[in-house]
């Protein structure tokens, strides 16, 4: 017989009472290594401007991805994107230095043309 004090019954509604089939399975969000907070943070949204952002992940991987600029200062931009476009709950907001955010790019190398 097991000791009831060692394994108390879960309280209704507690996380221990959720089964794996009912609890949503989520992968841990990757951390943005190049996030950087400004010294003064605007508290209200300022817009919803499409941008392209440079993201450096904590594992060292780097990517350029589409996002939206929602707040900004002279030196920083708060951007938002969804890790899963189909899931609105996957939206994340990150502060990046302004140099990691662009509205357009002209430095992409075009594909080679046949001669």
Note the pLDDT tens digit of each residue in 29-50.
Answer: 789 999 999 999 998 889 999 9
Tens of pLDDT, residue by residue over 58-92, are 999 999 999 999 999 999 999 999 988 899 899 99
| Cβ contact 54:34 at 8 Å | yes
The answer to whether residue 38 is domain-embedded is no
Q: Domain range spanning residue 56?
A: 46-106
Over range 86-102, report the average pLDDT. Answer: 94
The answer to whether residue 5 is domain-embedded is no
CATH of the domain at 54: 2.30.30
The pLDDT score that the predictor gives to residue 30 is 85
The pLDDT score that the predictor gives to residue 55 is 95
Instruction: Classify 43 as helix, strand or coil.
Output: coil
The answer to whether residue 111 is domain-embedded is no
| CA dihedral over 13, 17, 22, 27, signed as positive or negative | positive
The answer to whether residue 73 is domain-embedded is yes
How many structural domains is the chain composed of? 1
The answer to whether residue 31 is domain-embedded is no
The pLDDT score that the predictor gives to residue 21 is 45
Kindly tell me if the per-residue pLDDT of 17 is higher than 70: no
Let me know the angle formed at the C-alpha of 57 by 103 and 31, rounded to the nearest 5 degrees: 105
Q: How far apart are CA 99 and CA 38, in angstroms?
A: 13
Instruction: Classify 89 as helix, strand or coil.
Output: helix
């Amino acid at each position: 017989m097991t000791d009831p004090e060692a394994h108390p019954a879960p309280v209704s509604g507690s996380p221990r009472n959720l089964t794996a089939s009912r609890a949503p399975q989520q992968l841990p969000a990757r951390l943005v290594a190049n996030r950087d907070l400004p010294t003064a943070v605007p508290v209200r949204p300022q817009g919803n401007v499409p941008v392209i952002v440079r993201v450096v992940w904590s594992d060292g991987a780097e990517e350029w991805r589409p996002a939206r600029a929602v707040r900004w200062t002279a030196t920083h931009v708060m951007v938002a994107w969804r890790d899963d476009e189909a899931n609105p709950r996957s939206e994340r907001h990150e502060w990046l230095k302004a140099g990691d955010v662009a509205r357009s790019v002209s430095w992409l190398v075009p594909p080679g043309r046949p001669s």
